[in-house]
Amino acid sequence: MKIIRTADYHDMSRKAARLIIEKVRRQPEMTLGLATGSTPKGVYAELIKDHQENGTSYAKVTTVNLDEYIGLPPTDPNSYRHFMNSELFDHLDIQLENTHLPNGAAEDMSRECKRYEQLIKDLADIDLQVLGIGRNGHIGFNEPGTAFNSRTHVVDLAESTRKANARFFSSIEDVPAQAITMGIASILDSREIILLASGSAKAEAIRQLVNGEPDEQFPASALKLHPNVTIIADEEALSLVSQDR
C-alpha cells in the first residue's frame, strides 16, 4: 500500500487527477471506476479542466460507479447519476451510454445486482477504481460487517452514513435508507485502486486503515489484501499516521 501525502484538498485533487489522466492517455479504452460525494469533486474538476485545456479524450473510456441510492430515479438531483452527469460526464467527450451506475429505481433489486455484477465481468473488470472512505471505514456503501467476499448487493445504510450524507438533502429523513453497491470482492477485482481522503474528520479512519489488520468490521481494511493500492491524502487526513509511512 503506497501513500502519497499532499498539502491540502486541492493538492490531493490535482495529484489524483494526474494519475487518472496519465492512465487514460496510456490506455484510451480503459474501464474507470468512479465514486461520488464531496471528496472526488475536486478531482473531477481537475479532469474537466485538463480536458478543456489539453484535450485529453474520454471518447473510448467506459466508467462504472460504485453505488446508487435506492428509490431515487436518475433525474432526481440527489441521485448519483445526476451527480456524475453534472459534476463530470456533461463536461467531457465521454459517451453517456458508456457510463454505468446501478439503477436505484429498478423494480427487482436482486436482478439489478446480478445485472450490474455481470456488467463489470463483461468489461473484464475495472482498470482503475477511485474510492473515498467513510468515517466508519465504509468503501462504496459497504458498511461495517460486510463480508469481504461480497458482490454487488443491497445494503441498509448505517445511521452514521445517513447523517454524513444528510448535508446533501433537505433533512436526514429525506436520505434514502438503502443503497445498491458494488461488493468488496467486486472492488478488489480492480487492477489498481486509489483511495482519496481529506480533512481531520477522516484521520482516524486512515490511521486504522494504514495501521490495522484486515477486519470485516472495518470494510476499507480489505484493501490490505490488494496488491496495487495508493492512498492519496492530505496532511490533516494523515495526521495520525507516522511520517515514515
Supply the pLDDT for residue 199. Answer: 97
Confirm whether 93 is a catalytic residue: no
More confidently predicted of 172 and 2: 2
User: Is pLDDT of 243 > 90?
Assistant: no
Within 8 A by CB and 6+ apart from 85, the residues are: 96
Can you give the pLDDT at residue 42?
A: 98
State the pLDDT at residue 48: 98
Instruction: Tell me, yes or no, if 136 is annotated catalytic.
Output: yes
The pLDDT of residue 192 is 98
Q: What does pTM read for this prediction? A: 0.93
Q: Judge residue 82's burial from the number of C-beta atoms within 10 Å of its C-beta, 0-12 exposed, 13-18 middle, 19 or more buried.
A: middle
Instruction: Report the chain's mean pLDDT, rounded to a whole number.
Output: 95
How many Å separate Cα 90 from the centre of its chain?
A: 19
pLDDT at 214 over 70: yes
d(CA 119, CA 237): 34
Q: Catalytic annotation on 98?
A: no
User: Which is the catalytic residue, given 138, 189, 234, 236?
Assistant: 138
Task: Identify whether the C-beta of residue 215 lies closer than 8 Å to the C-beta of residue 136.
Answer: no
Catalytic residue among 46, 50, 51, 67: 67
The identity of residue 150, as a single letter, is S
Query: Cell digits for 7?
Result: 498539502
Q: How far apart are the first and last CA of the chain?
A: 10
> Catalytic one among 46, 50, 127, 143?
143
pLDDT for residue 29 = 97
The pLDDT of 30-47, averaged and rounded, is 97
Tens digits of residue pLDDT in 137-190: 999 999 999 999 999 999 988 787 888 888 888 888 888 889 999 999 999 999
Considering the candidates 136, 165, 189, 236, report the single residue annotated as catalytic.
Answer: 136
Residue 244: predicted pLDDT: 64
Q: Which residues of 131-159 are buried (b: 16+ CB within 10 A; e: fewer)?
A: bbbbebbbbbbbbbebebebbbbbbebbe
Q: What's the mean pLDDT in 199-223?
A: 97
Strand ranges in the chain using DSSP code E only, listed in sequence order = 2-6, 31-34, 62-65, 67-69, 99-100, 128-131, 153-156, 178-181, 193-197, 229-234
How much is the pLDDT for 245? 61
As beta bridge partners, residue 3 has 231
pLDDT of 69 above 90 = yes
- Catalytic residue list contains 122: no
* Predicted pLDDT of residue 222: 98
